[in-house]
Structure 1
Amino acid sequence: MDNASMNIRSAMALAKTLEGSDSPRLDIELLLSYVLQQNRTYLMTYPEQALTAAQQTAFLSLLQRRQLGEPVAYLLGEQGFWSLMLQVSPATLIPRPETELLVELALSLLLPESLRALDLGTGTGAIALALASERCDWQVIATDVQVEAVELAERNRASLSLNNVEVRQSRWFDRIPESNFHLIVSNPPYIDDQDPHLSEGDVRFEPRSALVAHDGGLADLSEIVTQAPAHLADGGWLLLEHGYDQGEAVRQLLAQSDFTEIKTHQDLNGCDRVTLGCWWGAALC
């Protein structure tokens, strides 16, 4: 295409070149909005607005990377989650709408107004920061084993001025001496390393260490469930995100560790997504 002739309308028409995307028009709108520093309404209102030479070069470069499958969130360096806009990088998973279910469930529990919560494998900090933004009296510790993820989560924490969150480097509970958390949440790796979806779509660009777990995807979930009771207060809750076909297995793990009030919740697609359990020693909740 002749760059001199490119306006918003003709740029939008290039959505047809994104054959591998589930949302080609939205992808184009987001890339254009980013390059033009305008919202998506502007694109609809001024379709004949010409792009400058610099804008066209930037847009076409991003478009080419998207055509190769690179996720839009990585191209823009940010992703919305809950009510927050978070910085993202290829060092972490991209926060997904399905994970908001875990936040909703945590906020719906009958918990003390002031409590201590722990987010294991925080990545961008999405879960911890969403909870802290809704409950200013909660003290939340967010951990990740990857230094790059810890640094990114801390940048997000600082940019949102959420001073009730502390970000630490730790592999699960390894550097967490504290006990008596009222809430522990995690979206750990849970994909089987033989899963064919690992070679498809956006996940091709995401860190494999944040996606894959041994034992059919259950190894990290099992480790968290086994170690969580030593860190939970009586009446505390453990909430875990997992794969669509792992609900029964996670419920069994929780039961084997003497959790009660065990329940699996489905996401908006009707798939098992989050399982939770209450800890009261061996007593009933």
Structure 2
Amino acid sequence: MREARRRAVPILRAAGIAAAGLEARLLLEGSVGTRALDPERALDAAAAATFAGYLQRRAAGEPVWRILGEREFWGLTFRLSPATLEPRPDSETIVEAALAQLGARRGENLSLLDLGTGTGCLLVALLSECPQARGLGVDLSEEACRTAAGNAMLNGVAARASFRKGSWAEGLAGAFDLIVSNPPYIPTAEIATLSTEVREHDPLLALDGGADGLGPYRIFARSLPALLAPGGFIVFEIGAGQKNDVVAIMAAGGLELRGSRHDLGGHERALIFAPA
């Protein structure tokens, strides 16, 4: 296996992949189905063929986690589908902000709502940390809802999670203690400038936030205040430089900024809102 990895690294480097060594190892692990690689062991024919196919796909620009079909988020495993955004470490900031805001309430019988749930990573991560909570994930894609339901089962929270196809909060009723969302926030004109990995492999539905990237937030400002329980709050992910605009939009809906959290790169990534 050491030799297989050694030969793979220059192939990936030639394709412009900076972390060629790491990705070669990840793809090799995926090919043999284990992280416990024996460097001295030779690949069997089936694993060698799988590995060669993985390398070809990665060199063509397909992200490594798409090839492997799953990615870790919040220490949990989430399976991907073409209809779901690939969970990214920066989005863990939403979970961190929500848990910090909940504080001691994490042990209560909370009602959670995740809009644009995708893989279900936000809702499943929160349910894993809030053992008495129940949650609803909503997504415009039926395929995404199926993927999220599978991930809830995979991570042991299926009994407390439900998923439904829908457009944001349309048709919802009830009172939620926490609403989270990582909505599409990239302006339409900027989609073409994204990396190949994102532009050609993440679903457009999860990327395109309209002409200025703020379309979903305007919908949230109109629809979410009525869905909050007393003491409830909202946590959104935002793009770089969008804070002031999002705060103004939420203020028009009667919501005020209660805090924010920075991602690994030092950018304000998660904003917390509650009724003014």
What TM-score does the superposition give when structure 1 sets the normalisation length? 0.89
4+ long deviations beyond 4 Å: none
* In the alignment, structure 1 residue 66 sits paired with structure 2 residue 58: yes
Does the 8 Å CA contact 1:73/1:79 hold for their aligned counterparts? Answer: yes
Does the 8 Å CA contact 1:251/1:262 hold for their aligned counterparts? Answer: no
- Equivalent of 1:170 in 148, 153, 166: 166
Task: Give the letter for the 1:156 counterpart.
Answer: N
Task: Give the letter for the 1:14 counterpart.
Answer: A
* In the alignment, structure 1 residue 38 sits paired with structure 2 residue 30: no
Matches within 5 A, 1:138-149: 138-149=133-144
Match of 2:259 in 1: 263
Matches within 5 A, 1:15-30: 15-18=9-12, 19-30=15-26
Matches within 5 A, 1:48-67: 48-67=40-59
Q: CA deviation at 1:154?
A: 0.9
State the alpha-carbon separation in 2 of the partners of residues 188 and 118 from structure 1.
13
State the alpha-carbon separation in 2 of the partners of residues 261 and 148 from structure 1.
33
Does the 8 Å CA contact 1:31/1:62 hold for their aligned counterparts? Answer: yes
Which range moved further: 261-270 or 86-95? 261-270
CA pair 35-110 structure 1, distance change in 2 beyond 3 A: closer
* Residues 47-106 of structure 1, C-alpha deviations (whole Å, 9 max, x = no match): 332111221111001100010011112211111110210111121100000010100111
State the alpha-carbon separation in 1 of the partners of residues 71 and 81 from structure 2.
10
CA pair 37-117 structure 1, distance change in 2 beyond 3 A: same
State the alpha-carbon separation in 2 of the partners of residues 261 and 253 from structure 1.
11
State the alpha-carbon separation in 1 of the partners of residues 16 and 152 from structure 2.
34
Task: Give the letter for the 2:89 counterpart.
Answer: P
* Residues 10-50 of structure 1, C-alpha deviations (whole Å, 9 max, x = no match): 433422222333422221111101111221xx44xx43321
Task: Give the letter for the 1:132 counterpart.
Answer: L
What TM-score does the superposition give when structure 2 sets the normalisation length? 0.92
State the alpha-carbon separation in 1 of the partners of residues 75 and 151 from structure 2.
13
Q: CA deviation at 1:258?
A: 1.9
* In the alignment, structure 1 residue 14 sits paired with structure 2 residue 36: no
Match of 1:224 in 2: 220
Three-state SS of the structure 1 residue aligned to 2:194 is helix
Match of 2:77 in 1: 85
Superposition RMSD in Å: 1.7
CA pair 202-13 structure 1, distance change in 2 beyond 3 A: farther
Does the 8 Å CA contact 1:93/1:124 hold for their aligned counterparts? Answer: yes
Bigger radius of gyration, 1 or 2?
1
Q: Which has the higher contact order (CA 8 A, sep 6+)?
A: 2
State the alpha-carbon separation in 2 of the partners of residues 206 and 100 from structure 1.
18
Identity within the alignment, %: 36
State the alpha-carbon separation in 1 of the partners of residues 130 and 173 from structure 2.
24
Match of 1:4 in 2: none
* In the alignment, structure 1 residue 192 sits paired with structure 2 residue 187: yes
Q: CA deviation at 1:227?
A: 1.0
Q: Which runs of 5+ in 2 are unaligned?
A: none
* Residues 94-127 of structure 1, C-alpha deviations (whole Å, 9 max, x = no match): 0000010100111111364221110000000000
